[in-house]
Structure 1
Amino acid sequence: MKIPKSAEKFIAEQISLINENPECANAHYNLGVTMMELGQYDQAIELFEEAIANSGRMFEGYVNLGYIYLKKRDLEMVAATNKKAVEIEPRYARGYANMGFAYLEMACPDEAIEALEKAIELNPEIVQAWSNLINAYLQKDEIDKAIETGKKLIEFAPEFSLGQNNLATAYYLNEEYDKAIEHLDIAMRQGFSVHPDFLKELQPYRER
């Protein structure tokens, strides 16, 4: 892709700094951010790794690596880089939430639950962490815990339609079909695109 003129000068400056001092962590980091913003992820990964190697502990470098690996759908590296980030900054709630999502996608519910619960402890307003926690409990077939988590989520975030959908799923698996329909209808009114198979499964219970 063509690099915007506004970025060309900055890139040249950072490359010059690296040429003068190959161990300049800040220049590698700054150039990595630019490459990431330009969508040149492989180059950005190399630059962030170099920045981390030269600085020893660079929280922001691991955060950005986690973002890139999420874009690349490399879930193992999403978990690994966010784990490094929270080791440096233990109060980084989003790092735990990202770890939890990665573990959930890899079907590792115990690890997902541990990470997501920590994320919620640090920042209860990360709605995606609550929603993913519902699904992690469902992976373990702990439906009661999934329902309780969903109820807590929609108490403070009733407009979060994915949460409504996931709570509906938990109620459905618990054979509480009226409640499943109630929350699914809320999700649809909010504009959520419900999976057609789920609608089909619930249709007989609407016709009673």
Structure 2
Amino acid sequence: MKAHYDDIDEYIADLKAEIAVNEKCANHYYNLGLAFLSKRDFVAAEEAFLASLRNSPHLAEAYVQLGGICLERGDLEGCLRYNEEAAGSRAKFSIPQSNIAFVHLQRGEPDKAIQALQKALKWDPDFIQAKNALATAYFMKRELDTAERLCREIIDQQPAFAPAWNNLALTLFEEGRVDEAQEAADKARSLGFDVPQGFLEELAAARG
């Protein structure tokens, strides 16, 4: 995709011209969908991704993008369904497994999330977002030792990954290690993470 937003309409026009010549090219439709996404035109993007799938029913990335559009609309069921389609369309594709887990976490189903995340990490051990989601799942199950271990593994790997610092802060707070939790929360904020105000107030109250 062209780097400058000024060019995006020209890029869309070029893609449409190419599609007019070759209506069966799934990649052109897929790229058109990405271009519309960059303009946040979700309706047009959805149409383009569906067209790409009509021409290539196993294009897993298109299912993932459609799942993302569902998420924009607050449609967790649609997001789950499309990502399950993506997972079924391509073996060992870690991204839809992570997205499936996200839906389960939103629904308060950590065990189902863990199953999907273990698959994602088996296929892509360096998938930091998936490992952080796994820490969240274990935190939800109150398996705090495991959650802390995963957070520290992420931080060792990518010290500037702010969501792991936030997860570590939450975990340490639940363990009663309030000062360490405050340090982790401060680190998350310094890296640009929007630590929930309610948690910051709890921290302040616990520290007196």
Using structure 1 for the length normalisation, give the TM-score.
0.80
Q: How far apart, in 2, do the equivalents of 1:190 and 1:38 lie?
A: 27
Aligned to 1:102: 103
Letter aligned with residue 204 of structure 2: Q
Aligned-pair RMSD on alpha carbons? 2.7
Q: Does residue 4 of the first structure (1) align with residue 5 of the second (2)? A: no
Aligned to 2:136: 135
Q: Aligned runs of 1:114-133 on 2, under 5 Å? A: 114-133=115-134
Structure 1 residues 205 and 80: alpha-carbon distance in aligned structure 2, compared to 1, 3 A threshold: same
Aligned to 1:90: 91
Q: How far apart, in 2, do the equivalents of 1:204 and 1:38 lie?
A: 43
Q: How far apart, in 1, do the equivalents of 2:73 and 2:10 lie?
A: 27
Q: Percent identity?
A: 34
Say which is worse superposed, 78-87 or 52-61, in terms of deviation. 52-61
Q: Larger C-alpha radius of gyration, 1 or 2?
A: 1
Question: Deviation at 1:48?
Answer: 2.4
Structure 1 ranges of 4+ moved more than 6 A: none
SS in 2 for 1:82: helix
Aligned to 2:170: 169
Q: Is the contact made by 1:11 and 1:34 (CA closer than 8 Å) also made in structure 2?
A: no
Q: Does residue 14 of the first structure (1) align with residue 15 of the second (2)? A: no
Aligned to 1:57: 58
The total of aligned residue pairs comes to: 202
Structure 1 residues 16 and 36: alpha-carbon distance in aligned structure 2, compared to 1, 3 A threshold: farther
Using structure 2 for the length normalisation, give the TM-score.
0.80
Letter aligned with residue 11 of structure 1: K
Q: How far apart, in 2, do the equivalents of 1:204 and 1:33 lie?
A: 46
Aligned to 2:201: 200
Q: How far apart, in 1, do the equivalents of 2:166 and 2:27 lie?
A: 44
Q: How far apart, in 1, do the equivalents of 2:10 and 2:160 lie?
A: 42
Q: Please, which runs of 5 or more residues in structure 1 have no aligned partner?
A: none
Letter aligned with residue 16 of structure 2: I
Q: Does residue 160 of the first structure (1) align with residue 161 of the second (2)? A: yes
Structure 1 residues 37 and 186: alpha-carbon distance in aligned structure 2, compared to 1, 3 A threshold: closer
Letter aligned with residue 113 of structure 2: A
Q: How far apart, in 2, do the equivalents of 1:161 and 1:132 lie?
A: 13
Deviation track 1:122-170 (CA, whole Å, cap 9, x = no partner) reads 2232222222222222222322322222222222122212211111101
Q: How far apart, in 2, do the equivalents of 1:186 and 1:77 lie?
A: 35
Structure 1 residues 35 and 156: alpha-carbon distance in aligned structure 2, compared to 1, 3 A threshold: closer
Question: Deviation at 1:33?
Answer: 4.0
Structure 1 residues 9 and 158: alpha-carbon distance in aligned structure 2, compared to 1, 3 A threshold: closer
